[in-house]
């Protein structure tokens, strides 16, 4: 039974992806609701049915009171069949209706609706560019991905469990009182008007207060995660107290925003008690007055009393449901600031797969300053022949990493174009472009998974034998076999920790190298590929790197000039421009910027064999 309802909607059902999600709240939610339309309609109908049954039950209890005023000896003879049928309805049919209602809401809607939002939100965010992620806290992004789905689910829950039910209940209550005496509706109508004013007053203030509180909580999460993910720096610089102060500032702001929100609820509760007092006195008092005048039966008084007491109990729940509804809408609105942002770097319409046959790279008049007007690259033109090995050097901030990011299309160049085998990279799919490029970065962070998963990330369908061969080439196999984690997993199955923190910098770098060796892409980018290695290991790894470069087009960035001295050509970047170009020997002969760099490094790294 449960499985039937749980499978009514597939949260992973195919959908038309968009680069520009709706920016307004209700269109945003409506977009996610499309697979649930039929289930929502049925759930709303069942909420009305359940409310109608509850109203009918109260009205029937009033009829029972009136029936008990007759001759007890004739009661069963005259009304026994009716009472038994009602009892059967209460014992069997009413629970079945309730069960159907809650199965729809709790099992068909809530688990699947939240899952659908989380899945699609994550899928959308994952398509954002590297630059987009660099402008926000990873913790805050993750927090919004996690908190928006349950908030949206709570919104839907309150719509059907509280709002639809309560509206049907109030309409039914008014109908029930009108059948006894239309005048009994008057205090209910007056109370309802005042109640709606209270709701309007509360909702108008709760929405902004809730969004402020939600945003404050996200800020706390972002700051806390930032401290945890950089715990080595926190400990190394002994900034424990500084980080506490940084977090406390955000935590205190969260407390203050939450205090504002809670003040509203306190005022709401007090005013609600006063209003409910007016409802009870008004309806029950009027019913007693009508009974004393002979205009209403005892049963009508009993039904009116039961109804007002039930409304008295419900009003707090309805008010809380409505404030929860709008509070969770505030959370969704805050989450939209992340998960509804348009994709800022997309494949062009009709983008094709990159067809890489030679590996020729043409950088034509490229400028990119990250929107600042300075820094980055300034009108750079480079022609890299198929299979050519090119070294890039320059001071920090000269534009080396910017060039690599543009080649990978992490950003679109502000001016100029980049061609690979004659194809503008903005006209091919990002996925096919990056599949044809292997990269070893200076920051060799790993996924918080096993060594096996990290190496196979380069080629997920590779065999274990190929994975081990790649690890051997990267001088990683031996230390991998010695690894073990706290769960008893060892070797290639050992977990490396978040960003690979359980490994040394050199070990992380060698696993990264193994991953790129396994990928075996025709274009190879090396950004300080041996920066984390000591001189002895670097000397051994150089052979692996040169082996990796065979038959590939290579761009290598390095501060240690020894790692690029054997390149076919070396480009010297300064202030975003190519200022020198040539072979190692040719540049030394020019006695320019490169020669100065080389002199400062005293010839580069130690040749292990020559030193023995």
CATH number at residue 254: 1.20.1560.10
Structural domain contains residue 403: no
Residue 457 three-state SS: coil
Span 417-451, pLDDT tens digits:
999 999 999 999 999 999 999 988 776 678 888 99
Instruction: Give the residue among 124, 233, 229 at the shortest CA–CA distance from 448.
Output: 229
Where are the strands (E) in 305-422, listed by range? 361-368, 377-384, 389-394, 415-420
476 phi and psi, to 5 degrees? -115, -20
Specify if 235 maps to a domain.
yes
Contact 408, 439 (CB under 8 A): yes
Residue 593 placed within a domain: no
pLDDT digits (tens, 9 = 90+) for 16-56: 888 888 888 889 889 999 999 999 999 989 988 888 888 88
Instruction: Tell me how far apart the alpha carbons of residues 331 and 335 are, in angstroms, rounded to a whole number.
Output: 6
Mode of pairing for the β-strands spanning 553-557 and 423-424:
unpaired
Q: How big is the chain by its Cα radius of gyration, in Å? A: 35
pLDDT at site 499: 66
- Give the residues of the chain that fall short of pLDDT 70: 180-181, 373, 443-444, 499, 529-541, 601-612
User: Is 49 a member of any domain?
Assistant: yes
Going from the C-alpha of 577 to that of each of 128, 140, 369, 377, 424, the distances in angstroms are 29, 37, 12, 6, 21
Answer yes or no: is 280 within a domain. yes
Q: Give the range of the structural domain holding residue 470, as residue numbers without chain letter.
A: 445-520
Mark out the alpha helices in 89-161 (DSSP H runs): 94-102, 110-126, 130-134, 138-158
Does 171 share its domain with 295? yes
pLDDT score recorded for residue 300: 75
> What distance in Å separates the CA atoms of residue 217 and residue 219, rounded to the nearest whole number?
5
Domain count across the chain: 2
Beta bridge partners of 418: 363
- Per DSSP, what are the bridge partners of residue 368? 377
pLDDT of the residue at 605: 40
Distances (CA, A) of 310 to 66, 272, 273: 20, 14, 14
CB of 379 closer than 8 Å to CB of 365: yes
Examine residue 581 and state whether it is found in any structural domain, yes or no. Answer: no
For residue 184, being part of any structural domain is answered with: yes
Domain harbouring 499, CATH code: 3.40.50.300
The answer to whether 148 touches 156, Cβ cutoff 8 Å, is no
Which of residues 269, 304, 339 is at a domain's end? 339
**Shared-domain flag, residues 457 and 335:** no
Domain boundary among 310, 339, 368: 339
Q: What is the pLDDT of residue 284?
A: 81
Report if residue 288 sits inside a domain. Answer: yes
DSSP percent split of the chain into helix, strand, coil, nearest 5: 65, 10, 25
Determine the pLDDT at residue 205: 82
Domain termination residue (choose one: 279, 308, 339): 339
Enclosing H/E stretch for 188: helix 185-229
User: What own/partner pairs with CB < 8 Å and gap ≥ 24 does 564-570 have?
Assistant: 564/391, 564/392, 564/393, 565/391, 565/604, 566/389, 567/389, 567/390, 567/391, 568/388, 568/389, 568/390, 569/388, 569/389, 569/390, 569/391, 570/390, 570/391, 570/392, 570/393, 570/594
449 and 328, same structural domain?
Answer: no
pLDDT value of position 401:
86
């Amino acid at each position: 039974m449960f499985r039937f309802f749980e499978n009514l909607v597939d949260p992973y059902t195919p959908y038309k992806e968009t680069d520009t999600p709706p920016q307004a709240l209700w269109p945003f939610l409506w977009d996610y609701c499309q697979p649930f339309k039929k289930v929502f309609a049925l759930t709303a109908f069942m909420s009305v049915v359940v409310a109608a049954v509850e109203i009918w039950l109260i009205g029937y209890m009033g009829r029972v009171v009136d029936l008990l005023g007759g001759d007890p000896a004739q009661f069963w003879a005259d009304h026994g069949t009716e009472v038994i049928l009602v009892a059967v309805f209460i014992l069997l049919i009413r629970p079945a209706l309730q069960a159907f209602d809650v199965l729809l809401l709790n099992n068909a809607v809530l688990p699947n609706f939240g899952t659908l939002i989380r899945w699609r939100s994550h899928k959308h965010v994952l398509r954002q560019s590297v630059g987009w992620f660099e402008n926000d806290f990873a913790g805050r992004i993750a927090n919004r991905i996690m908190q928006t789905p349950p908030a949206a689910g709570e919104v839907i829950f309150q719509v059907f469990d509280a709002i639809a039910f309560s509206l049907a209940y109030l309409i039914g209550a008014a109908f029930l009182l009108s059948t006894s005496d239309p005048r009994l509706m008057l205090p209910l109508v007056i109370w309802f008007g005042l109640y709606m004013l209270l709701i309007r007053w509360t909702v108008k203030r709760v929405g902004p207060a809730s969004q402020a509180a939600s945003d404050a909580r996200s800020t706390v999460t972002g700051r806390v995660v930032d401290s945890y993910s950089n715990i080595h720096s926190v400990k190394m610089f002994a900034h424990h107290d500084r980080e506490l102060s940084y977090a406390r500032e955000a935590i205190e702001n969260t407390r203050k925003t939450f205090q504002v929100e809670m003040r509203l609820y306190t005022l709401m509760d007090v005013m609600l008690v006063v209003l409910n007092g007016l409802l009870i006195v008004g309806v029950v008092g009027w019913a007693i007055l009508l009974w004393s005048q002979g205009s209403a039966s005892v049963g009508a008084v009993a039904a009116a009393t039961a109804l007002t007491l039930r409304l008295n109990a419900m009003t707090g729940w309805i008010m809380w449901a409505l404030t929860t509804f709008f509070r969770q809408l505030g959370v969704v609105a805050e989450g939209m600031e992340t998960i509804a942002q348009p994709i800022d770097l997309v494949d062009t319409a009709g983008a094709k797969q990159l067809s890489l046959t030679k590996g020729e790279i043409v950088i034509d008049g490229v400028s990119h300053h990250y929107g600042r007007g300075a820094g980055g690259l300034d009108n750079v033109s480079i022609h890299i022949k198929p299979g050519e090995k090119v070294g890039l050097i320059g001071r920090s901030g000269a534009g080396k990493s910017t060039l690599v990011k543009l080649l990978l299309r992490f950003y679109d160049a502000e001016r100029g174009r980049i061609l690979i085998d004659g194809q503008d990279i903005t006209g091919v799919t990002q996925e096919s472009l990056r599949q044809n490029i292997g990269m070893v970065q200076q920051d060799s962070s790993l996924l918080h998974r096993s060594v096996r998963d990290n190496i196979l990330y380069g080629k997920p369908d590779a065999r274990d034998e190929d994975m081990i061969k790649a690890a051997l080439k990267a001088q990683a196999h031996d230390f991998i076999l010695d690894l073990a984690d706290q769960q008893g997993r060892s070797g290639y199955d050992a977990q490396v920790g978040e960003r690979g923190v359980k490994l040394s910098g050199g070990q992380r770098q060698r696993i990264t190298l193994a991953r790129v060796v396994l990928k075996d892409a025709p274009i190879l980018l090396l950004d300080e590929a041996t920066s984390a290695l000591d001189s002895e290991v670097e000397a051994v790894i150089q052979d692996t790197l040169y082996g990796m470069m065979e038959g590939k087009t290579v761009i290598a960035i390095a501060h240690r000039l020894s790692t690029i001295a054997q390149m076919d050509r070396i480009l010297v970047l300064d202030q975003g421009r190519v200022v020198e170009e040539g072979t190692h020997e040719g540049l030394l002969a020019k006695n320019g910027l490169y020669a100065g760099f080389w002199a400062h490094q005293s010839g580069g790294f130690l040749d292990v064999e020559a030193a023995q």
